[in-house]
């Protein structure tokens, strides 16, 4: 046992800010141009036929290149494959205060999910897998490239605010089960 | 580390380094990996183990290294690993994996896009967070301190630095993958202003985006896949203390030790590709390795001609392997470095059969 005086706890704040700046890849530029124009485009793999939204420049399963020649348009309607209701917690930069839906939407014609989509126009306790939805577009003059970056694979947030029920009957689980995480 | 010496490089490919690639990192890797596999006559589904080297901080993309794996094709599931280090260390891990003897091929790649970030911001985070990172000590400053110590010790002159830069960029004219090349007059270079005394712009590496891929194979498999495999006779890496102020920056004891363990103890060698990202570092590395004067150093132009961080070291290995595969040389040495001012060093000795 030591008689040494208790040591003061020293805390040093070390705030780090890193700046990244780059241009959108050519594929994402085309993707954003289409979004602003009210269209959602992706790439269709010439080998397996799967459609990725946005296009990646290759098919990750076949590992073959894809390009402008493989560009296809997909619908702005789709199916909620999975979702969660997020209750916001406070953290530096948090903008949300009310619970919101965080859903994966499989657009008609696409094989890849759109993640992180809000579903509006329906009580949260009625949101379900299989729900048929359609995009709620921003007015054309409000659409932009904002938030689309080469980090991750795009998103539709710069042109589409959320998805809302389309009124169609639910999609049978067997038809979208493969896309549920 | 001592290990079997029957592991060889049988395929490779690299991108041309550029200041800012239009494509994303994975998009750079997809054709590069495909080309390396094609050169090795190997289908990606036959690869026994995959290892990649990259650093998410360069592009600022969390888990970017996970996306990079799509270039290797990760379905059906593959056995793979990643190092937050230069691809040379991914090659080292693959080499270790191959020692187990149950698989006989491996795919390795390294990539990096430094263009979106500011090196002085990102690299400062590599230093200890108490004393150095808050000062914003950037790599050019550290290299400048190292250069100053070299000058004060009488081990080199600013002319020596300029000659390294001029020779490198002249050689780079023959390298289609180099970013900075040309015929520069040393006297004209010395008239340029300092960027961080005693370093001038020509003493610094370019900022580069690039990718490189390598295929390794063992024993008879290597002989089957390549006409002239580049056999890895020895590979070793050693690291020094993290705090630059606690090391002698004018020497590189870890390079000397790594070389010795890899089987090179000075003396004639056909070619040496060194990851000297600042011209004074070539002076230090030559001495640390014991390279005889007149050794063919960095015929590719080295890191002063192209510096795609996280790929630079693996490219040095490829540049030697390529010359062995082409039959231009029989024995060569490649050096890779990590950390700041030569903290961590790897030496890879390769030979034709």
The three-class DSSP label of residue A81 is strand
What region, left, alpha or beta, does residue B263 occupy, with left being phi > 0 and alpha being psi -120 to 50 degrees? left
Q: What is the percent of chain B where pLDDT is above 90?
A: 93
Report how far residue B123's alpha carbon sits from residue B55's, in angstroms, rounded to the nearest whole number: 11
- Rounded to two decimals, what is the model's pTM? 0.94
CB of A129 closer than 8 Å to CB of A83: yes
Beta bridge partners of B210: B112
* Nearest by Cα to B314 from B52, B24, B97, B78: B52
Nearest Cα residue to A158 out of A50, A68, A24: A24
Q: β-strand A132-137 against A64-65: which pairing, if any?
A: unpaired
Residue B161 phi, psi dihedral angles, 5° rounding: -60, -45
In DSSP notation, B301-345 reads -GGGT---TTTHHHHHHHHHHHHHHTTS-SEEEEEEEETTTT-EE
Say which CATH class B231-351 falls into: alpha beta
Whole-angstrom distance, CA of residue A31 vs CA of residue B84 = 31
| Beta carbons of A22 and B115 less than 8 Å apart | yes
What is residue A2's predicted lDDT score, i.e. its pLDDT?
60
Contact (Cβ atoms closer than 8 angstroms) between residue B64 and residue B106: no
Show Cβ contacts of residue B294 under 8 Å, excluding neighbours closer than 6 positions.
none
ipTM for the whole complex: 0.88
State which CATH number among 3.30.460.10, 3.40.50.1950, 3.40.47.10, 3.30.420.10 fits the domain covering B7-115+207-225.
Answer: 3.40.47.10
Q: Which residue in this structure is represented by tokens 């059906």?
A: B76
Count CB pairs under 8 A between chains A and B: 75
With CA atoms as reference, the chain A residue closest to B129 would be A14
From A20, A26, A62, residue closest to B60, measured CB to CB: A20
Determine the pLDDT at residue A148.
Answer: 85
Question: pLDDT, tens digit, for every residue of B297-345?
Answer: 999 999 999 999 999 999 999 999 999 999 999 999 999 999 999 999 9
Cα–Cα separations (whole angstroms), residue B231 to A34, A104, B13, B334: 51, 49, 17, 13
pLDDT attached to residue B1: 55
Which one of A14, A57, A152 has the shortest CB-CB distance to B23? Answer: A57
Question: Which chain A positions have a beta carbon within 8 Å of B20's beta carbon?
Answer: 22-23
Domain(s) of CATH 3.40.47.10: residues in chain B? 7-115+207-225, 231-351
Q: Does A23 touch chain B (CB under 8 A)?
A: yes
Collect the ranges in chain B with pLDDT lower than 50: none
d(CA B14, CA A57): 18
Residue B282 C-alpha, separation from nearest chain A C-alpha, in angstroms: 30
Domain definitions of chain A by residue range: 26-179
> Which of chain A's residues have a Cβ under 8 Å away from the Cβ of B125?
16, 18
Contacts of A23 in chain B (CB under 8 A): 20, 22
Task: Spell out the per-residue pLDDT of chain A, length 181, in tens.
Answer: 566 777 788 888 888 889 999 899 999 999 999 999 999 999 999 999 999 999 999 999 999 999 999 999 999 999 999 999 999 999 988 999 999 999 999 999 999 999 999 999 999 999 999 999 999 999 999 999 988 888 766 689 899 999 999 999 999 999 999 888 6
């Amino acid at each position: 046992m030591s008689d040494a005086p208790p040591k003061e706890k020293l805390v040093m704040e070390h705030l780090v800010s890193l700046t990244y700046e780059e241009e959108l890849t050519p594929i994402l530029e085309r993707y954003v141009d289409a979004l602003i124009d009210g269209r959602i485009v992706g790439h269709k793999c010439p080998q397996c036929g799967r459609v990725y939204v946005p296009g990646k420049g290759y098919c990750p399963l076949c590992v073959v290149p894809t390009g402008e020649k493989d560009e296809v348009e997909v619908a702005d309607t789709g199916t909620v494959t999975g979702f969660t209701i997020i209750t916001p917690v406070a953290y530096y930069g948090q903008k949300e205060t009310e619970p919101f839906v965080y859903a994966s939407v499989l657009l008609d014609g696409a094989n890849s999910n759109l993640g992180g989509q809000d579903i509006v126009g329906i009580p949260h306790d009625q949101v379900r897998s299989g729900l048929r939805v359609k995009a709620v577009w921003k007015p054309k003059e409000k659409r932009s490239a904002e938030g689309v970056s080469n980090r991750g694979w795009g998103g539709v947030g710069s042109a589409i605010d959320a998805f809302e029920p389309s009124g169609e009957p639910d999609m049978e689980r067997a038809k979208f089960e493969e896309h549920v995480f | 580390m001592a290990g079997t010496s029957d592991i060889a490089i049988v395929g490779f490919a690299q991108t041309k380094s550029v200041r800012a690639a239009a494509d994303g990192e994975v998009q750079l890797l997809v054709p590069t990996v495909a080309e390396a596999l094609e050169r090795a006559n190997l289908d990606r589904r036959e690869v026994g183990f995959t290892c990649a080297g990259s650093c998410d901080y360069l592009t600022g993309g969390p888990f970017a290294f996970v996306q990079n794996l799509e270039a290797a094709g990760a379905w059906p599931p593959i056995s793979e690993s990643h190092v937050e280090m230069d691809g040379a260390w991914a090659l080292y891990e693959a080499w270790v994996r191959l020692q187990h003897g149950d698989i006989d091929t491996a795919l390795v790649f390294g990539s990096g896009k430094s263009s979106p970030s500011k090196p002085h911001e990102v690299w400062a985070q590599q230093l200890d967070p108490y004393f150095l990172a808050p000062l914003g000590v950037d790599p050019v400053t550290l290299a400048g301190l190292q250069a100053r110590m070299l000058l004060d010790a009488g081990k080199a002159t600013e002319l020596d630095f300029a000659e390294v830069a001029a020779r490198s960029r002249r050689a780079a004219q023959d390298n289609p993958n180099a970013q900075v090349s040309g015929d520069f007059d040393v006297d004209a270079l010395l008239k340029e202003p300092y960027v961080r005394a005693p370093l001038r712009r020509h003493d610094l590496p370019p900022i580069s985006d690039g990718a490189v891929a390598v295929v390794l194979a063992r024993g008879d498999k290597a002989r089957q896949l390549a006409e002239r495999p580049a056999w890895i006779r020895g590979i070793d890496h050693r690291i020094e203390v993290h705090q630059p102020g606690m090391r002698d920056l004018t020497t590189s004891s870890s390079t000397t030790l790594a070389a010795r363990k890899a089987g090179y103890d000075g003396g004639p060698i056909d070619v040496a590709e060194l990851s000297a990202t600042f011209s004074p570092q070539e002076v230090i590395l030559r001495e640390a390795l014991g390279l005889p004067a007149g050794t063919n150093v960095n015929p590719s132009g080295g890191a002063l001609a192209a510096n795609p961080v996280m790929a630079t070291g693996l490219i040095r290995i490829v540049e030697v392997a390529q010359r062995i595969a082409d039959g231009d040389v029989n024995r060569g040495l490649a050096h890779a470095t990590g950390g700041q001012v030569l903290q961590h060093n790897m030496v890879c000795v390769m030979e034709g059969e």
